Amino acid sequence: MALGYDVLLVRHGESESNAAGRFAYRSWDPRLTTKGQEQARRLAEHLCHAPIRYMVTSPLLRARETIQPLADALALTPTVLPELAEVNLGLWDGIRLADLERSHNNEYEAWRRDPEANPPPGGESILAVGGRVLTALEKFVTTHEPGLTIATTHADCIKGVMLVITKSSGPAARTLFVPNCGQLLVRYLPNFRRWVLVLSPVHLLS
């Protein structure tokens, strides 16, 4: 049995929804902006010498476009994992953040304080997001030979993963910031059946 399976979680580059200040889940599947495409290109330059063996991605276009330059550079084909998709925003899907803020929406203000106790109406809690991402990644890595996996996903997915691994509460999500193309390295330890955070640059992984 392998000692551990490494996964580098990467948030997608700037998308049209980011630039417009709008939530985007399923009803709108925006592309990367010109800036986001440049971020994806720089990401590929940064990671092309890392010991990458596998690539997985959210099915959403902004994540797939982010990983494609690196996939082209390494001649790898990303596997789409539906569980890496954006948090389900329920009734807020497609709404501008500024409009929610101006409306003094009590549900929005409660979600901003604690996205675990107060998920969007009809939407998903932050720990549920992290749980589904880690469950999908565990299934993927343990059915493949050991090697570094790159996973392109979304900000709240990465925040949720951190909260699940560190056993933190929902409000802690508001102390985390994941920029476009921000990265988090995690490792699954099959002997202990748990995930850990890895504080190391990817190029130092054996």
Rounded CA separation 120/95 (Å) = 12
pLDDT digits (tens, 9 = 90+) for 31-78: 999 999 999 999 999 999 999 999 999 999 999 999 999 999 999 999
Annotated ligand binding at 191? The verdict is no
Residue 16 is assigned to a ligand binding site: yes
In-domain check, residue 181: yes
How far from 129 is each of 28, 112, 126, 178, 188, CA to CA, in Å? 19, 16, 5, 15, 17
Q: Is residue 109 part of a domain?
A: no
pLDDT in tens, 188-200: 999 999 999 999 8
Percent of the chain with pLDDT over 90: 83
> What's 190's domain CATH number?
3.40.50.1240
With cut-offs at 50, 70 and 90, classify the pLDDT of residue 140. Answer: very high
Residue 168 lies in a domain: yes
Identify residue 132 by its one-letter amino acid code.
Answer: R
Averaged pLDDT, 22-39: 91
Residue 206 confidence (pLDDT) above 70? no
* Residue 8 vs residue 203, higher pLDDT: 8
Query: Is the per-residue pLDDT at 2 higher than 80?
Result: no
- Does the residue 116 lie in any domain? no
Q: Provide the residue range defining the domain that includes 186.
A: 5-21+29-89+124-204
Q: Is residue 112 a part of any domain in this protein? A: no
Residue 152 domain flag: yes
Tokens at 150, concatenated: 């790159």
Average pLDDT (152-156) is: 97
Is residue 27 very low, low, confident or very high in pLDDT (cuts 50, 70, 90)? Answer: confident
Contact between 18 and 97 (Cβ < 8 Å): no
How many domains does the structure of the chain reveal? 1
Cα–Cα nearest to 140, from 130, 127, 129, 151: 151
- What residues act catalytically? 12, 86
Q: What is residue 203's predicted lDDT score, i.e. its pLDDT?
A: 75
Residue 105: inside a domain:
no
pLDDT band at 104 (very low <50, low <70, confident <90, very high): low
Residue 206 in marked binding region: no
pTM metric for this prediction = 0.95
* Residue 107 lies inside a defined structural domain of this protein: no
